[in-house]
Structure 1
């Protein structure tokens, strides 16, 4: 059996998994989850993902949820093929985990919060955006990206000379910042902008983004 990803090509977290699979040259199938029909909250789906969220990885009877955990699983299972996204040595692997933790704690909450207010509320008819919250989130995101800009002045990727899981994990919500008209958080910082251009020009992300646009 091949890899199956229960989710949707437009879903940010599904995209996080898809770009890793493509970097590792792993064929996979998207098993569509019908959000409009509430399939992600159905009793059947909750057996796979008890929080009713996507994606869920299915690998020959093994099921795994949470996109970053899936990314690590794919990197470890297919270590010898495709792009190396985490070093095998102890210290190198720890640096990737360090920056993956930074993404979870200091980038995603602010970027995803801005997107939730300015994109998802309108998309899902959830009322007007809280612009004061957006302002507060943007200030925190700016503080994070100021640090990134200093790090990226010294190296092309957050973890050093090679792209890693930690870099790729930023892609889905970073891209959505542009949809939310806050892409200047990235483009106004020269080193962050250059890093972002290196990431988004990768064929694996180009393919993932194109799939999500349809």
Structure 2
């Protein structure tokens, strides 16, 4: 099997890559990395990702790290497989690229920390959320989602009328946040709520997030 993912399903970054592979219908091997015992700082992962973080990725002799870069590679290298995640139209690709950047630079800045405080800490680690952090980041997320609401009022998906990589990158964190009180921030915006429900209902999303 040529494709290997070194990671942990509890990691949203790992799930980002797995959802991309499932959308493409590709065979792959998931090599479980135990974060609690520090396996991410040891071989074989440390040779793939010198920062010692999941996921690591191998496709034959190609090794990659950083989940968004990996998902982009999958979308381009296997463009003729499974769900189309990119377009041959340069204008559509440019629009999609804008929202790929927005996910990483705007949405994820607030959403990742909210996921950690409200999903990972209390649900996975048995710790108490820092409500000061939650309040600040929830306000930041709400401001981002106001912009998403305006965009999604014009098109079904962020990049246009078709599901794309720009939407896929949101899926793991969306799943986490929909299980917390922050779901109300999404639900208060009808177009955003419909978009989130649509993404989480996709078979690839359901398979990976429910695992």
Which TM-score tier does this pair reach, normalised by the shorter chain? over 0.9
Question: Bigger relative contact order, structure 1 or 2, given CA contacts below 8 A and separation 6+?
Answer: 1
Map 1:24-173 to 2 at 5 A.
24-42=24-42, 44-122=44-122, 123-124=124-125, 128-173=128-173
CA offset digits 1:178-199 (Å, max 9, x no partner)? 2332111111210001111111
How much has 1:135 moved relative to structure 2?
0.6
Q: Does the 8 Å contact 2:49/2:56 carry over to 1?
A: yes
TM-score for both structures, normalised by structure 1:
0.93
SS of the residue 1:57 aligns to: strand
How much has 1:61 moved relative to structure 2?
2.2
Give 5+ residue unaligned stretches, structure 2.
Answer: none
How much has 1:9 moved relative to structure 2?
2.1
Distance 1:88 1:58 in 2: 26
Map 1:193-212 to 2 at 5 A.
193-211=193-211
Alpha-carbon RMSD: 1.5
Counting matched residue pairs gives 210
Distance 1:8 1:187 in 2: 29
How much has 1:44 moved relative to structure 2?
4.3
Q: Does the 8 Å contact 2:6/2:45 carry over to 1?
A: no
Distance 2:164 2:177 in 1: 21
Give 5+ residue unaligned stretches, structure 1.
Answer: none
SS of the residue 1:179 aligns to: coil
CA offset digits 1:53-102 (Å, max 9, x no partner)? 11111111211001110011111111111111111222111111100000
Distance 1:101 1:64 in 2: 19
Distance 2:6 2:44 in 1: 12
How much has 1:117 moved relative to structure 2?
1.9
How much has 1:201 moved relative to structure 2?
1.0
SS of the residue 2:37 aligns to: coil
Q: Does the 8 Å contact 2:6/2:32 carry over to 1?
A: yes
Of residues 9-18 and 116-125 in structure 1, the stretch that sits farther from structure 2 once superposed is 116-125
